[in-house]
């Protein structure tokens, strides 16, 4: 079959964006400021610099620069694996019999297997520039830890990764990749930090959680000389780095005069979705487009669709600053699911604000539903998707089927955030029909909400 346009719409390396796009600059109402947990006043750079690299703090606190130049050292890092392909899903469209055009930006073609490398590179680069020697971080399913291990290997920095204990047991291959790149991987909770010791004392058999691993990583950064902490999602500077996805997609679509009607992404902390939508949402806010934006989250961890828009901590030990975001409460521990990268109680403050103000929609999907969609996708498109990304696939398929019913020829764009090669145990469960859907009850959500701090801003 000859296609009217190529199935892979590449841009050249010369056409790669040289700027990141900060969506906040376009927002009429900005997200609420991050608060110091002690004083409840907006945080200052000096409050954050003991924890984060200086440049990350600067980017985090600057909400007015729309186009941020990407330093040459980071462009050079990006050129090792970018631009990523923008693919026209002709085969999926045919399988669905839809008049819709479906496009996806595939971020899984690098060893870490996901978009996370797009922010890992810049964060390691800035740490090196600042003269730091090592970084610490946490990883849930392992994608962020792997991306950071690659970036630290590239820029010559040490790295300690606190890996949620259940994942380190379930995903030994992830651990092997990180260690091969030179990272030190510690299952969390561990005895290496006070936060870990405290959690272990209260709950010796716990399999750990992302919130708890964050507490350990932050503590390590603060207590180690020339070491800082890096986070792989949620924060504004991470979304900024991920805007490379949207900027590339925009350049590629413009080449063919294509304007998306619907843009979809899975949302854990919101970075791949926030990165993809950045320039397109900017246009919508400026009232130059009427594109719809859909964030898709797991029914087991529904921070958009069932969460609250309040100030909350980013971690279980309540050490981080307070962010106003869609949250299930820092004490919420989602049931184990195969979309490990989406198991976080909170959500990007930028996306939370946009959701609150009606600029984007959100929906939740069950595990069994997203694996059905994943298989349908891989059989037609040939790519094995990550379970996280399959949330976006599910919504793209549903929207395309809606077009089939209505006869509308909409243009759908989604982010295929990663590959599923490290998630084969999930596919094994799917094949064995042992996957279950664990949807929290209202009572379980109440327990999480009870951990939200009772501060005047939340009353």
Ligand X SMILES: *Cc1c(COP(=O)(O)O)cnc(C)c1O
Please give the residue ranges that form the binding site for ligand X (CB under 6 A).
Answer: 114, 116, 143, 233, 266-272, 341-342, 386, 388-389, 417-418
Q: Tell me the residue nearest to ligand X as measured from the CB.
A: 418
Q: 145 vs 187, which CB is nearer to ligand X? A: 145
Task: Supply the minimum distance, in Å, between the C-beta of residue 234 and ligand X.
Answer: 7
Q: 112 vs 160, which CB is nearer to ligand X? A: 112
Q: 101 vs 388, which CB is nearer to ligand X? A: 388
Burial class (CB in 10 A: 0-12, 13-18, 19+), 303: buried
Task: Supply the minimum distance, in Å, between the C-beta of residue 132 and ligand X.
Answer: 24
CB atoms within 10 A of CB 46: 8
Q: 122 vs 268, which CB is nearer to ligand X? A: 268
What is the rounded CA–CA span in Å between residue 267 and residue 348? 9
Q: Which of 378-385's residues contact partners 24+ apart within 8 Å by CB, and which partners? A: 379/95, 380/89, 380/91, 380/92, 380/94, 380/95, 381/87, 381/89, 381/91, 381/92, 382/91, 383/106, 383/108, 383/416, 383/419, 384/419, 384/420, 384/421, 384/427, 385/108, 385/416, 385/418, 385/419, 385/420
The answer to whether the CB of 344 falls within 8 A of the CB of 301 is: yes
What tokens were used for 325?
């975001």
> Beta-strand (E) ranges in 169-226?
184-188
Residues forming a β-bridge with 184:
160
Q: 190 vs 348, which CB is nearer to ligand X? A: 348
Describe the strand order of the beta sheet including 292-298 as a list of residue ranges.
86-88, 101-106, 411-416, 262-266, 292-298, 361-365
Q: 330 vs 348, which CB is nearer to ligand X? A: 348
Task: Supply the minimum distance, in Å, between the C-beta of residue 416 and ligand X.
Answer: 8
Task: Supply the minimum distance, in Å, between the C-beta of residue 55 and ligand X.
Answer: 20
Task: Supply the minimum distance, in Å, between the C-beta of residue 133 and ligand X.
Answer: 26
What is the rounded CA–CA span in Å between residue 365 and residue 344? 15
Secondary structure in 3-state letters for 348-410 = CHHHHHHHHCCCCEEEEECHHHHHHHHHHHHHHHCCCECHHHHHHHHHHHHHHHHHHHHCCCC
Q: What is the DSSP letter of 189?
A: S
Return the SS3 of 195.
helix
Task: Supply the minimum distance, in Å, between the C-beta of residue 205 and ligand X.
Answer: 26
Task: Supply the minimum distance, in Å, between the C-beta of residue 329 and ligand X.
Answer: 18
What is the rounded CA–CA span in Å between residue 278 and residue 246? 6
The answer to whether the CB of 130 falls within 8 A of the CB of 155 is: no
Task: Supply the minimum distance, in Å, between the C-beta of residue 216 and ligand X.
Answer: 19
Angle at 177 between CA 340 and CA 131, to 5 degrees: 95
Q: 208 vs 270, which CB is nearer to ligand X? A: 270
Q: 90 vs 302, which CB is nearer to ligand X? A: 302
Q: 170 vs 193, which CB is nearer to ligand X? A: 170
Q: 215 vs 272, which CB is nearer to ligand X? A: 272
Task: Supply the minimum distance, in Å, between the C-beta of residue 280 and ligand X.
Answer: 16
Task: Supply the minimum distance, in Å, between the C-beta of residue 343 and ligand X.
Answer: 9
Q: Is the dihedral of CA 11, 8, 370, 162 positive or negative?
A: negative
Task: Supply the minimum distance, in Å, between the C-beta of residue 84 and ligand X.
Answer: 13
Q: 98 vs 271, which CB is nearer to ligand X? A: 271
């Amino acid at each position: 079959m000859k296609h009217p346009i190529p199935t892979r719409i590449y841009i050249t390396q010369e056409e790669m964006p040289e700027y990141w796009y900060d969506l906040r600059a376009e927002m009429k109402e900005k997200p609420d400021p991050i608060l110091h947990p002690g004083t409840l006043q907006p945080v200052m750079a000096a409050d954050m610099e003991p924890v984060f690299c200086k440049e990350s703090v600067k980017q985090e606190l600057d909400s007015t620069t729309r186009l941020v130049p990407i330093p040459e050292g980071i462009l050079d890092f990006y050129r090792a694996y970018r631009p990523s392909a923008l693919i026209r899903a002709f085969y999926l469209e045919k399988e669905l019999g839809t008049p819709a055009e479906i496009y996806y930006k595939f971020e899984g073609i690098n060893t870490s297997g996901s978009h996370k490398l797009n922010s890992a590179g810049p964060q390691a680069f800035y740490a090196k520039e600042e003269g730091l020697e090592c970084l610490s971080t946490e990883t849930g399913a392992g994608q962020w830890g792997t991306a950071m291990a690659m970036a630290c290997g590239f820029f010559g920095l040490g790295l300690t990764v606190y890996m949620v204990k259940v994942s380190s047991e379930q995903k030994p291959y992830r651990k092997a990749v990180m260690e091969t790149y030179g990272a030190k991987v510690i299952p969390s909770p561990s005895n290496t930090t006070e936060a870990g010791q405290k959690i272990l004392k209260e709950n010796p058999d716990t399999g750990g959680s992302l919130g708890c691993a964050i507490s350990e990583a932050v503590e390590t950064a603060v207590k180690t000389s020339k070491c800082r902490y890096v986070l792989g999602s949620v924060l504004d500077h991470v979304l900024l780095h991920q805007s490379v996805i949207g900027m590339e997609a925009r350049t590629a679509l413009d080449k063919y005069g294509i304007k998306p009607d619907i843009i979809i992404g899975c949302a854990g902390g919101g970075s791949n979705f926030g990165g993809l939508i950045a320039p397109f949402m900017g246009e919508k806010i400026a009232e130059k487009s009427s594109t719809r934006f859909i964030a898709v989250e797991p029914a087991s961890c529904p921070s958009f669709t069932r969460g609250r828009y309040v100030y909350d901590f980013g971690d279980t030990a309540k050490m981080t600053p307070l962010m106003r975001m869609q949250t299930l409460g820092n004490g919420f521990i989602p049931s184990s699911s195969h979309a490990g990268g989406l198991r976080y109680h909170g959500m990007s403050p930028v996306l939370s604000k946009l959701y609150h103000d009606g600029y984007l929609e959100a929906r939740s999907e069950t595990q069994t539903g997203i694996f059905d969609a994943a298989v349908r996708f891989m059989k037609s498109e040939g790519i094995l998707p990550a379970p996280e990304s399959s949330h976006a696939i599910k919504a793209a398929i549903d929207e395309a089927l809606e077009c089939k019913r209505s006869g509308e020829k909409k243009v759908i764009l989604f982010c295929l955030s990663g590959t599923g090669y490290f998630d084969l145990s999930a596919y094994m469960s799917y094949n064995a029909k042992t996957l279950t859907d664990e949807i929290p009850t209202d009572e379980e959500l109440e327990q999480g909400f009870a951990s939200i701090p009772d501060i005047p801003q939340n009353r």
